[in-house]
A and B are shown apart, each in its own frame.
Chain A
Amino acid sequence: MKTIKSLIAIFFLLIGSQAFAQTGTTPYVGSTHIYYVNSSDGNTLNAGHPDNTYYWYLTDNTEALVTDTDVFTVGQAWGTDVAPVNNLFKVDITWGSAASGTYYLYVKEYSNHGCISKRRIEILVKPNAFDIQIAAVAADGCNTASGTLFTGVTPVAAQLGSTPRDFNITMTGTPNSWKFKPVVTADNTAAITTTTYNYDNAGVETPLTVIDDYITVPAGVNAVVATSSVTNVWNDNNTIITFNIDAGEDVLYGTLEKDESKATPDQYAGTATSIVWPVPTTTEIQTN
């Protein structure tokens, strides 16, 4: 029975992830997509269109022209109907916060005779569903020095050691590679000694490294386990490890994490804490 429930859950998870994934025709608000004609790869213009000119424009679902930059911005000068742009067979469009619902993207290609081919594509802009979440794996608990035989008035750092805590970082909303910027801190004079990142690659735990402050996760991987180690300190206060996701981005489409791209963005895409309890600062055993 449990197995069936799990299967059903996985089934709906798959359906859900497919329904929410974005493409150029179903982009998320905040994403940047390329749109092109006459090319097999979006970079090289096919033969047969030498020096043709292009004019791109966007309409809403009533075919009314849209120019609001809150709806979209483009990376190129689009020209005008009377002054189309030479060889502009590709454009980048970033869907803005005011974009919602159905739009039509048109392109007119003008031959040297002035004859015009007009093509259009229907685009359904969706709310940004690219979401990164973080949660501590284990419950709060004692530091790893608990139960250790201490010597001396104050145990030295080597005796105290450090406590590792795992955090699950999960992502929904894109099949593409994604990246996040972790910021891990600890209070109570404790220090983060290391944070490692791993993901499950077909059963093999595979490390990820921080490059330019970001962890970049391969496409198709939706979960990363971060392990942060904090020095155990000799006082009676709890040590709180705070793990913030400072920024998240869909690498291919440039979509920012939804909590950070909304009208009033959150400071962090996600945040989690894990509390390390201290051991009692028992003195050395005295005798008379």
Chain B
Amino acid sequence: MKNSMRYLLGVFALVLITNFASAQSEFAPVAGSTFTYKVDVDDNNNNVTWAIKKDGTALTAGVDFSNAATDYIITTETATTGEVGFAKATITWGPNLGEGTYVLEFTEIGGSCTTVRTADVILTANTSFDLTAAATETSACNSLNNTASILDQDATTEIQFTVDMEKAASWSIESWKYKFALTPTYADASMPAPSITSVTIDGNPKNATDGKYEDATIPEGTTQRTITVKITGNANKTINVAFAVSEAFAVNGITDTAEGGSDTNNATTSITKLPGSSAIIAN
């Protein structure tokens, strides 16, 4: 019965409403990308469900990819009363989903009858969009180096990290974005952490929200960002600064594609302590 219904009503109505990207499309996305799919429904009051299957087995929907079980993230929307009937699903394809053909399945249940719509989605791995974090120098002397100073004097030392973006040249994007966290600590773990005096990118100050700084709306043509960080702390103690990039996306309209590739999203650098010379004592 189901099968005959499918064939009887079988005009496909899945419509892509997001922007196009040259190297991927709604039915040929790369892992980590987000697209919105739409079906015109018969009746707003019917029950509708969405599913993604691979070789007949349903994948697991989740809320974020930090849970390894999450294959994809979905948010759905249906027309309210008075609107033309439709159902939408915004799907983020898991960054770690394997390549292959997936079936996007839409089901509308009206009374005792069910209509199913499917579409093949050929997913390719995201090997093109990738960010790499690095420290400009693995270590550098504290800024009081070779400057007359006193023991345990606080000093502000400037360090830099870079974020490089790579992607396939054929893939056109509008912009890219990422967030990053900075964690300065003394090598002597018993000491309270040194402070971050300022964070700037291209001279523009950045402030952290919930411990993360955001660098967004970076033009496609800009492939490297330099993050300048000023750390204030004891010049006679070594300070380690950890830099961690997260939530990196290529942006095309409302489509965000998470990065793929190998993960080098962390970098560290050390502000090397100066010798703990005492004051000069004279007899």
Contacts and interface: CB of A to CB of B under 8 A. Distances in A.
B280 A120 contact: yes
Chain B's interface: helix, strand, loop or mixed, by majority? loop
B100 interface: no
B95 to A, nearest CB: 40
Given A115-B141, A118-B146, A49 B280 contact: no
A110 interface: yes
A123 B278 CA distance: 17
A115 B142 contact: yes
B150 A119 contact: yes
Contact of B280 (A37, A114, A116): A37
Nearest to A49: B275
29 contacts: A24-B281, A25-B282, A33-B283, A35-B280, A35-B283, A36-B280, A36-B281, A38-B276, A42-B283, A49-B276, A107-B280, A110-B275, A111-B272, A113-B139, A113-B141, A115-B141, A115-B145, A115-B273, A115-B275, A116-B275, A117-B144, A117-B235, A117-B274, A117-B275, A117-B276, A118-B146, A118-B148, A119-B278, A120-B280
Contacts of B283: 23-24, 33-35, 42, 252
Nearest to A56: B280
Interface in A22-64: 23-25, 33-39, 42, 46, 48-49, 52
A121 interface: yes
A105 interface: yes
A23 B282 CA distance: 7
Interface in A88-128: 105-111, 113-121, 123
A35 B148 contact: no
Interface residues of A, number: 33
Interface of B: 139, 141-142, 144-150, 235-236, 272-283
Nearest to B142: A115
Nearest to B235: A117
Contacts of B236: 117
A185 to B, nearest CB: 38
A279 to B, nearest CB: 55
A35 B280 CA distance: 6
Contacts of A24: 281-283
Nearest to B276: A48
A46 B283 CA distance: 17
B149 A119 contact: yes
A247 to B, nearest CB: 23
A121 B147 CA distance: 13
B280 A111 contact: no
Nearest to B141: A115
A252 B277 CA distance: 26
A46 B278 contact: yes
A82 to B, nearest CB: 13
Given A49-B275, A119-B149, 4 more contacts: A37-B278, A38-B277, A117-B277, A118-B149
Contact of A117 (B139, B149, B281, B282): B149
Most chain A CB inside 10 Å of its own CB: which residue of B139, B146, B273, B280: B280
A211 to B, nearest CB: 24
Contacts of A36: 280-281
Contacts of A116: 141, 145-146, 274-275
A152 B277 CA distance: 82
Contacts of A110: 275
A107 B146 CA distance: 10
> What are the 10 closest A-B residue pairs judged by CB atoms, nearest first?
A24-B282, A115-B141, A121-B280, A109-B275, A117-B274, A117-B277, A116-B146, A109-B277, A117-B275, A120-B148
A121 B150 CA distance: 11
Nearest to B282: A24
Contacts of A35: 280-283
Contacts of A23: 282-283
A240 to B, nearest CB: 43
Contacts of B235: 117
Given A25-B282, A35-B281, A111 B273 contact: yes
Nearest to B236: A117
Contacts of B146: 108, 116, 118
Given A37-B278, A105-B280, A118 B147 contact: yes
B83 to A, nearest CB: 68
B234 to A, nearest CB: 12
Contacts of A42: 281, 283
A109 B276 CA distance: 9
Given A37-B278, A111-B273, A119 B145 contact: no
A106 B148 CA distance: 8
Nearest to B274: A117
B276 A113 contact: no
Contacts of A37: 277-281
A184 B183 CA distance: 79
Contacts of A107: 277, 280
